[in-house]
Amino acid sequence: MIFDALAADAVREPARLRALYEQPSELVRRKQVDHLHEAARRFVGCSSLVFLATADADGNCDATPRGGPPGFVAVLDEHTLAIPDATGNRRLDSLHNIAATGRAGLVFLVPGRGATLRVNGRACVSEDPELLARLTPVGKPPRTAIVVAADEVYQHCPKALLRSAAWQPGQWLPADAAPSSAEITLSHVGDPALTLEQVLAAEEESLRLRYE
């Protein structure tokens, strides 16, 4: 495996890593805070997409997207966020990780905007009925919510989204340039008895049920 060869000679000392790059600017240092100030709360209220990063007790990492109408993530106070757990694949990877380590990282996006907001902190999975009753972006209370207490709040500049042209339809690849979700699933499952049409039908049915 190529990774093993590269990892054998990888950078491991923080001092060596730091030596490869210039120091961050004073503004970059100062814009990290430990709470959700008013502008950050407004940004979260406009966000319809957040990426959730977790790891289990052994350090195995997981990152997953969570979406909903703008403001589907509730700001409970200047330190606390609550993400309703909408129906998904029921693997519960993120929830298991949070239950095991009590930590999570979030990156909030607002469609069409280049800046993103990073929130890292302590996390838990709550089934508190009063909290869940407040989290109804899809019309009904979720079974649980991911609650995050912000230890680090940081706004990323637009460079990544500008470079990717993610919000520019004229720069998007043709629809058939990348494999579809069904094609990826079929290749992962590796069952010769399973057809692409069957996977497509299963995906369509799953999406229909999740939005009812």
**Which tokens sit at 8?**
């054998």
Q: Which residues pair with 123 in a beta bridge?
A: 148
Dist CA 100 CA 58 (whole Å): 10
Q: Are residues 146 and 203 in the same domain?
A: no
User: Would you say residue 50 lies in a domain?
Assistant: yes
Q: Is residue 210 very low, low, confident or very high in pLDDT (cuts 50, 70, 90)? A: low
Q: Are residues 40 and 67 in the same domain?
A: yes
Comparing CA positions, the residue from 128, 22, 49, 120 lying closest to residue 79 is 120
Instruction: Identify whether the C-beta of residue 122 lies closer than 8 Å to the C-beta of residue 103.
Output: yes
In this prediction, residues 110-126 reach a mean pLDDT of: 97
Which is more confidently placed, 160 or 204?
160
H or E segment to which residue 104 belongs? strand 103-109
Q: What is the pLDDT of residue 209?
A: 59
Instruction: Identify whether the C-beta of residue 209 lies closer than 8 Å to the C-beta of residue 88.
Output: no
- Quick one: CA torsion of 109, 115, 120, 124, rounded to 10 degrees? -20
Choose from 139-143, 152-156, 200-204 the range with maximum mean pLDDT: 152-156
What is the number of other CB atoms lying within 10 angstroms of the CB of residue 148?
25
What is the number of other CB atoms lying within 10 angstroms of the CB of residue 187?
9
Q: What is the pLDDT of residue 212?
A: 45
Q: Are residues 40 and 144 in the same domain?
A: yes
**Which tokens sit at 26?**
């004073």
- Residue 164 burial class via C-beta count within 10 angstroms: exposed 0-12, middle 13-18, buried 19 and up: exposed
In this prediction, residues 118-130 reach a mean pLDDT of: 97
Comparing CA positions, the residue from 194, 206, 182 lying closest to residue 90 is 206
Residue 15: is its pLDDT beyond 80? yes
In this prediction, residues 108-137 reach a mean pLDDT of: 95
Distance of CA 179 to the CA centre of its chain: 22
In this prediction, residues 195-204 reach a mean pLDDT of: 86
Residue 58: CATH number of its domain: 2.30.110.10
Instruction: Identify whether the C-beta of residue 81 lies closer than 8 Å to the C-beta of residue 40.
Output: no
174-194: per-residue pLDDT in tens?
Answer: 988 999 888 898 899 888 888
Count structural domains, the chain.
2
Which is more confidently placed, 138 or 134?
134
Q: What is the pLDDT of residue 211?
A: 45
Q: Are residues 38 and 81 in the same domain?
A: yes
Q: What is the pLDDT of residue 204?
A: 84
Range of the domain at 198: 173-210
User: Would you say residue 102 lies in a domain?
Assistant: yes
40-63: per-residue pLDDT in tens?
Answer: 999 999 999 999 999 999 999 999
Share of the chain above pLDDT 90, in %: 74
User: Would you say residue 10 lies in a domain?
Assistant: no
Residue 19: is its pLDDT beyond 80? yes
Dist CA 76 CA 134 (whole Å): 10
User: Would you say residue 187 lies in a domain?
Assistant: yes
Q: Locate the DSSP E strands across 132-186.
A: 145-156
Average pLDDT, the chain: 92
